[in-house]
Amino acid sequence: MGTPYRFTYDDYARMSEDGLIAEGERTGLVNGEIVCMTPVGHRHVYVVDLLTALLGEWTHGRAVLRVRSPLVFNGLEVPHPDLTLLRPHADRYRTRLAGPWDALPIVEVADSAPSRDLEKAVQYARAVIPEYWIADVNREIVMVHLTPVGGEYTDVREYARGESFVSPALGGREVRVENVLGPAVET
C-alpha cells in the first residue's frame, strides 16, 4: 500500500474552481485530506447568524469578521471556521488570504458532531490561535479554549446558561452564554 496523496490548498482551490467541489458544498482541507463536513441544522444557522450580528456590532471598525471563510495555516491545512475575527489589515485581506497569525477568536458551532470541533482544538492550538470557542447547541454550553502552548490549550472551561466569561481577544469583554446561544427556548 502506497502513501496517500495529500492535497495542497492550491489543489483544493483549483478543484473548487473547476467545479469538482460544488459551490456551497461543506468541505475542508485537513492535513492534506478533503473532508466532508456535517450538514448544519437550524440551531447551527441561528447561532452563526446571532454571533455574526453581535460580533460585528462589538468589533465594528476594529476587526474583520469572516463567516465560513478559509484560514490558511499551511499548504495542507485550511479550515473554514464558522466565525473568525481577524486583526485589521490595511486592505481588508484583498491581496492575501488570512492566516492563523491574523486570527483573534475562532468560533465553531456544534450541533451534531462536537467531537469534530474538539479535534479542531488541537489544530487551532498548534497554529497558536489565541482563543477558540465551541458553542454547543445540544448541551447549551460554550467551551472556551485559551492559552495555546505546545499544540494544546492549557486553559479550557465550559460555561452554561446564566454564566459568563471574559474574552481576552475581545479586549476583556464579558460575554454571557445567552449572547452566544440566544435565549433559552421554552419547551
Q: What is the pLDDT of residues 117-151, one digit of tens each?
A: 778 899 899 999 999 999 999 999 999 999 999 99
pLDDT at residue 127, as a whole number: 93
- Residue 28 in grid coordinates: 475542508
pLDDT at residue 75, as a whole number: 73
Beta bridge partners of 29: 34, 78
Q: Average per-residue pLDDT in the chain?
A: 87
User: Which of these ranges, 28-37, 142-151, 161-170, 173-182, has the smallest mean pLDDT?
Assistant: 28-37
Please give the single-letter amino acid code of residue 10: D
Q: Please, which pLDDT band fits residue 114 given cuts at 50, 70 and 90?
A: low
Phi, psi angles (nearest 5°) of residue 67: -120, 120
- Residue 91 in grid coordinates: 486592505
Query: Structural domains in the chain?
Result: 39-181 (3.90.1570.10)
- Residue 146 in grid coordinates: 485559551
Global pTM reads 0.82
